[in-house]
Amino acid sequence: MNTTVSPPPEAAARPQSGKPGGRQGFSRKRFRQNIPLLAMFLPVVAFYVIFKYAPIAGNVIAFKDYNFFDGVFGSPWVGLHNFELLFTQSRTLSIIRNTLMLSLLQLLFGFPAPIILALMLNEVRKVLFRRVLQTIVYLPHFFNWVIIGGIVVTVFSMEAGTINHWIERWFGEPYPFLYKPISWIAVFVSSGVWKEMGFGTIIYLAAMSTIDPGLYESASMDGASKLRQIWHITLPGIRSIIVILFILSTGNIMEVGFDQVFMLQNGVVSDVSEVISTYIYRVGLKGAQFSLSAAMGLFEALVGLVLVVAANWVARRFDQGLF
């Protein structure tokens, strides 16, 4: 029976390769051989169908005046009315701008950070030291934003904050980190980078471990310094991973995770801190204006789609396209 555990060699090959031996059409025998694999695949398909594809149909409520009782399909059509209403509200444009700005900043600082950290970890010689270090930098990822947000707000607060305690001692006046737009953005972006940086290194470290050690050996024999080795061996070795992850993160540009911004925002900085996800929570979930917030969500998704396609187009120029 152990033949069923490992797939036949043809299954592992890419379909595009068009092997002459590959049989066309449905084969009962091959299907039966692969039942365990298909069974394992089924929950994944179910996940995507139920939570990713089927809800797309729910977007029709963006063009309807949705109410609970008439439901998604029974509610009356209103055309583009929700979009019109959305763009007559004073904050809509600044909400979209903030979403773009915060996520671009997150991408700008958050994307290179794990790569740099992974390069540094990769060069650590003492295994024990490296393991301890890795565990410590992974740790924040596993805490909920409610906890991290509470810590961040306390650290940067004016009365009880550790940082302001010292600022007050040296300069006399505490600095309102969370009330100034610039410093708030800095706190927001850096806390996000700090939380996810360590965990993000996993993928890069795994990619680095696949690089042939022989390359490093011959490079050092040729007299290449550590930095040269990183530049000419490590980075090219993980280039395809970097590009793939970059394309995927562009898809997120229109998305600022709800938890982080909700925990950290306050009224004074709402000019820069109000984003689409908090708007949807406030107006959609709390105010039950589902159609209006679905319109906002749909708009967000469209922009996200355009950005992903554009990023992929650029990547294809460098022969690294994802699709």
Partner 1 sequence: MYGKHHILILGAKKMNKKGFVAAGLMLSLAIAGCSSNDGGGSADNGNGADGNEPKEKANISSAIYDRGSVPAAEGSIEDNRWTRWLSENGPANVTFTAVPRWESEDKYNTLLASGSAPDLLFEYSPAIRNIWYQQKQLLPLDELIEEHSTSYKAMLEDYPALRKAGTLDDGKLYYFGRLNEVVPNRAVLIRKDWLDKLGLEYPKTTEELYEVAKAFRTEDPDGNGKDDTYGLAVSGNSTRTLDQIFQKMGFVLRDDEIVYAWDSFEEEASFMKRLYEEGIIDRDFLNDKNGENARQDFVTGKLGIYPVLLNWKTFTTNEYKTLKDNVPDAEIIPIPYPESRAGAFTPTFANPVQMTAAINRGADNPEAVMAYVDFLIEPSTGQTLKYGVEGEHYEMGENGCPVALDNDKTEQVGYTVDLQMLMTAPYVLEGKCGMESEFNPEVPLEQEGLDLFHQGLEAYIDLDRPYSEITISEHMPQMPKELQTTLGETNKTIGDLYSKAIVSGSNYTVQQALEEAQKVFQNGMGPEAEAWLKDWYANNKDTAFLAEDLYAVIREQQGIDK
Chain residues in the site for partner 1 (CB under 8 A): 47, 50-52, 54-56, 58-59, 61, 67-72, 85, 88-91, 153, 157-160, 174, 176, 178-179, 203, 206-207, 241, 244-245, 248, 251-252, 255, 257-259, 266-268, 270-271, 276-277, 280-290, 292-294, 297, 300-301, 322
- In whole angstroms, how close is the CB of 289 to partner 1 at the nearest point? 5
Closest Cα partner for 130 from 24, 200, 201? 201
Q: Using CA of residue 296, residue 302, residue 307, residue 312, what is the dihedral sign?
A: positive
Q: What share of the chain is helix, strand, coil (3-state, %, to 5)?
A: 75, 0, 25
With respect to partner 1, which residue has the nearer C-beta, 206 or 306?
206
Judged by beta carbon, residue 194 or residue 281, the one nearer partner 1 is: 281
Task: Specify burial of residue 261 (Cβ count, 10 A radius: 0-12, 13-18, 19+).
Answer: buried
| Shortest distance, position 92 Cβ to partner 1, whole Å | 9
Which of 54, 306 has the CB closer to partner 1?
54
**Cα–Cα separations (whole angstroms), residue 47 to 40, 251, 279, 294:** 12, 20, 27, 22
Tokens of 195: 């939380």
Rg of the chain taking only CA atoms, in angstroms = 25
Token pair of 150 as six digits? 């509470």
Measured CA to CA, the distance from residue 178 to residue 264 in angstroms comes to 8
Instruction: Report the interhelical angle of 127-138 vs 112-123 (nearest 10°).
Output: 160
CB of 167 to partner 1, least distance (A): 13
Euclidean distance between CA atoms 62 and 75, whole angstroms: 11
Distance in Å, CB of 185 to partner 1, minimum? 15
Closest CB to partner 1 among 2 and 210? 210
**Residue 8 carries which side chain, given as an amino acid letter?**
P
Sign of the CA dihedral running 258, 261, 266, 272: negative
Which is nearer to partner 1, 193 or 292 (by Cβ)? 292
Least spacing, CB of residue 266 vs partner 1, in Å? 4
Nearest approach in angstroms of CB 20 to partner 1 is: 27
CB of residue 299 to partner 1, shortest distance in Å: 10
Report in angstroms how near the CB of residue 217 gets to partner 1 at its nearest: 26
Closer residue to partner 1 (CB): 51 or 77: 51
Instruction: State which residue, 47 or 129, has the beta carbon closest to partner 1.
Output: 47
Q: Which one, 16 or 88, has the nearer CB to partner 1? A: 88
Residue 202 has what DSSP assignment? H
Number of H helices, E strands in the chain: 20, 0
Q: Would you say 276 and 297 are in contact if contact means Cβ atoms under 8 Å apart?
A: yes
